[in-house]
Amino acid sequence: MKKTHIIGLIVIAIAIGVIITSLSGASTYANFTEAFGNPGKKYTVVGELDHEQEITSEPLKCTFYIKDKENVVKKVVYNQPKPKDFERSESVVLTGSVEGDVFYASEISLKCPSKYNDLNKKQ
C-alpha cells in the first residue's frame, strides 16, 4: 500500500470514531414516563414549571417540579444556581437522567414570554 492510502484510511477511521463518540453522548427527546422507564439514560424533556409546588433554591442547587406534555409532574434537581427569570418561563427544556424518583437535570433551557406578547395585550 502507498503511504497516501494508509494516511487516508487512518483519517477515515478517526472520523468514524469521532462520529460514533458524538452520537453516543446525545440525548433523546422524551416525556417523563419514558425517562423514568429507563433510569440512567440521558433524556431531554420539555415541560412547564408547576407553580403549585415549592421551588427550593440554594446557592448551588435548585429543586422544583415540572409538568411534561403528558401532564406528568416530577421532581427535578438541578445542581446549579436557579436560572434567571425561571418562574416567568413559558416552557422549560431539561436535559439529564433519572435516579430513583428524581430527574437530575444537567442542562436547562428556558423559553421566556415574548415582550411582544405583552405589547399586544395592552393594545
Over 60: is that where the pLDDT of 120 sits? no
User: Over pLDDT 70: what percentage of the chain?
Assistant: 86
Cell 430513583 -> residue: 100
Q: Is residue 20 part of a domain?
A: no
Q: Is residue 86 part of a domain?
A: yes
Q: Is residue 9 part of a domain?
A: no
pLDDT value at position 18?
77
More confident residue, 59 or 21: 59
The predicted-structure confidence for 77-102, as pLDDT tens digits, reads as follows 999 999 888 888 889 999 999 999 99
Q: What is the CATH number of the domain that holds 87?
A: 2.40.50.140
Mean per-residue pLDDT of the chain: 86
Report the number of distinct structural domains present in the chain: 1
Q: Is residue 3 part of a domain?
A: no
Mean pLDDT of 21-47: 84
Q: How many CB atoms lie within 10 A of CB 67?
A: 18
DSSP state of 38: S
Q: CA-CA distance, 50 to 111, in Å (whole number)?
A: 15
Q: Which three cell numbers stand for residue 22?
A: 458524538
Q: Is residue 38 part of a domain?
A: yes
Q: Which three cell numbers stand for residue 1?
A: 500500500
**Which range marks the domain in which residue 87 is found?**
27-122
Residue 22 DSSP SS3: helix
Over 90: is that where the pLDDT of 119 sits? no
DSSP state of 74: E
Q: Is residue 95 part of a domain?
A: yes
User: Over pLDDT 90: what percentage of the chain?
Assistant: 54
